[in-house]
Chains A and B, each alone.
Chain A
């Protein structure tokens, strides 16, 4: 009960809201880190095997990072 009051004091919302927001931020952050790791690995492997389709794969890997950042910002500011 005491904890619930503290959360409500800082956020002005319920404990459920606090959990949803924190989980959203953590999962978005994890996804962004994963997208960055994937991008770096794809960057490495496209140097090992070179062909004309690699630029699309790099582009999509880059878009993944952008999606991760967008999700993170949404989780911070809009939830």
Chain B
């Protein structure tokens, strides 16, 4: 793992040796890889935002005449804030759904719909199998897919969905697991 150079690809969705830390990180624990969903998965949210913006724009031509200027201004500003917030919400869901691979373990941080958060920590010594799956038109074009990490016993399996370069990530995790096994 020493030959890996620090790099940030695809809007920080595939970062090797970044300056990221997490709250349960050990003293001698080093972050090797940080994974997020491929940025192309944000495109539907952007398109929805754009459609909502056009709906707002064309609605302005059909406002009833009894509305005052301040009321029309409020409606416009409120819906612009709503659209901005919709995009922000999508960004937060993307940004904080993060997988962190360290030299000791795998951390899966899930942050869905703002109010739900879950952090799973798996030791590398408990990893049984790493599977990268990629299928479909967009997945092939943009090289993204899912990564399934199976753990021993009754521990919960970890999965990273729609991550870029899933096979490269699997390769790095396998190398780390092998290195961990030789240490034990």
Q: Would you call B62 an interface residue if the criterion is a C-beta within 8 Å of the partner chain's C-beta atoms?
A: no
Q: Would you call B18 an interface residue if the criterion is a C-beta within 8 Å of the partner chain's C-beta atoms?
A: yes
Q: B20, B70, B71, B95: which contacts A57 (Cβ < 8 A)?
A: B95
Whether A79 contacts B96 by the Cβ 8 Å rule is no
Q: Would you call B101 an interface residue if the criterion is a C-beta within 8 Å of the partner chain's C-beta atoms?
A: no
Whether B100 contacts A49 by the Cβ 8 Å rule is yes
Which range contains the number of B residues in contact with the other chain? 20 to 34
Whether B98 contacts A49 by the Cβ 8 Å rule is yes
Name which residue of chain B comes closest to A60, CB basis. B88
Whether A49 contacts B78 by the Cβ 8 Å rule is no
Q: A50, A57, A79: which contacts B23 (Cβ < 8 A)?
A: A50
Within 8 A of A (CB), among B9-50: 12, 18-23
**C-alpha gap A70/B71 in the complex (Å):** 15
Interface size on A, residues (CB 8 A): 30
In the complex, how many angstroms separate the beta carbon of B119 from the nearest chain A beta carbon? 6
Q: Mark B104-132, 1 if CB is under 8 A from A, else 0.
A: 00000101001101010000000000000
Within 8 A of B (CB), among A14-71: 16, 20, 24, 27-28, 31, 34-35, 37-38, 41-42, 44-45, 47-53, 57, 60, 64, 67, 71
Q: Would you call B92 an interface residue if the criterion is a C-beta within 8 Å of the partner chain's C-beta atoms?
A: yes
Chain B residue contacts of A44, Cβ below 8 A: 117
Q: Mark B78-90, 1 if CB is under 8 A from A, else 0.
A: 1001100100110
Chain B residue contacts of A38, Cβ below 8 A: 89, 92, 114
